[in-house]
Amino acid sequence: MRFSRYMVGNFIKHFILVLGGSVLIFLVIDFVSNIRVWLNKGMAETSEYYLNYLPHIIYLILPIAILISVIGSLGTMARHLELTSYQGAGVGAMRMLSPLLLIGVLLSGGMFWAGENILPDANHRRLEMLQNTSQRKSAQRIKEKSNFVYVNSNTQSWYFRFYSGVHRRAQRVILLLYDAQGHLKERYDARIMTWNEFDEYWTLQDGFRRVFHRDGVVENISFNHKSLQGVVETRPEDIINERQTGDEMSSTMIRQRIEVLRRSGEETSIMETQLHFKYSGPWVAIITLLIGASLAHRYSRSSGISQKFGIGLFVAFSYYISIKVGLQLGEAGVLNPWFGAWVGNIVFGLFALVLLFRSFRL
- Average pLDDT in the 183-212 region? 92
Angle of helix 305-331 versus helix 283-298 axis, rounded to 10? 150
Dist. CA 26–CA 23, nearest whole Å: 5
CA distance to 69, 85, 253, 286, per residue, from 297 (Å): 13, 13, 43, 17
Spell out a b/e string for 267-298, using b for 16 or more CB atoms within 10 Å of the CB, else e.
ebbbbbbbbbbbebbbbbbbbbbbbbbbbbbb
Pair type for strands 201-212 and 144-153: unpaired
| Digit-coded pLDDT (tens) for 280-321 | 999 999 999 988 888 876 544 455 666 777 787 888 889 999
To the nearest 10°, the Cα dihedral for 344, 114, 125, 276? 40
Q: Which residue has the higher pLDDT, 45 or 297?
A: 45
CA atoms within 13 A on the CB side of 281: 23
pLDDT of residue 31 exceeding 60, the answer is yes
Q: Which residue has the higher pLDDT, 11 or 90?
A: 11
Q: What pLDDT is attached to residue 315?
A: 86
- Average pLDDT in the 111-123 region? 93
At 166, the pLDDT band (50, 70, 90 cuts) reads confident
Q: Which helix (H) or strand (E) holds 224?
A: strand 218-227
- Average pLDDT in the 83-100 region? 65
- Average pLDDT in the 263-267 region? 76
pLDDT of residue 135 exceeding 70, the answer is no
Q: CB-based contacts of 113: which residues, under 8 Å, 6+ apart?
A: none
- Average pLDDT in the 79-95 region? 60
- Average pLDDT in the 45-59 region? 91
pLDDT of residue 40 exceeding 90, the answer is no
Determine the straight-line distance between the first and last CA of the chain, rounded to whole angstroms.
22
- Average pLDDT in the 227-252 region? 85
Dist. CA 5–CA 2, nearest whole Å: 5
Residue 217's SS3 state is: coil
Dist. CA 300–CA 95, nearest whole Å: 20
Q: Which residue has the higher pLDDT, 1 or 51?
A: 51
Dist. CA 63–CA 78, nearest whole Å: 22
Q: Where are the domains of the chain?
A: 2-133+272-360, 143-239
Q: Which residue has the higher pLDDT, 23 or 306?
A: 23
